[in-house]
Amino acid sequence: QVQLVESGGGLVQPGGSLRLSCAASGSIFSIAVMGWYRQAPGKQRELVATITSGGLTNVVDSVKGRFTISRDNAKNTVYLQMNSLKSEDTAVYYCNLNLVHLGYVYDYWGQGTQVTVSS
């Protein structure tokens, strides 16, 4: 069983920065693809960024150049550095662990952390 615990959300002014963290329990973190997703009020959950076990990253166009995803396998933690925040970045941000290994599919979600960008 894997548990994901996000932290680092909060209220920030436009143009500000936040760093989200997601700490994972269990032994499969280092070989899993980790992702950050977000869901704004009245909208569907959407992908923000992913990072493979080897550190290859993918960031969606709407946050490219502003958000950076990284991971520390020694700490079982994935991060999302968010700079130049805009009001449209306001959402609940969720951490996801995804892995297909030895015929098993692992897909876990954190509880989410609220990010509010407002003056």
Evaluate if residue 1 carries a pLDDT over 90: no
Evaluate if residue 3 carries a pLDDT over 90: yes
For 12-42, what is each residue's pLDDT tens digit?
Answer: 999 999 999 999 998 889 889 999 999 999 9
Report the pLDDT value the prediction gives residue 62, as an integer from 0 to 100: 96
Contact 94, 36 (CB under 8 A): yes
d(CA 61, CA 84): 14
For 57-107, what is each residue's pLDDT tens digit?
Answer: 999 999 999 999 999 999 999 999 999 999 999 999 999 999 998 999 999
Report the pLDDT value the prediction gives residue 41, as an integer from 0 to 100: 92
In angstroms, how far is the first alpha carbon of the chain from the final one?
Answer: 40
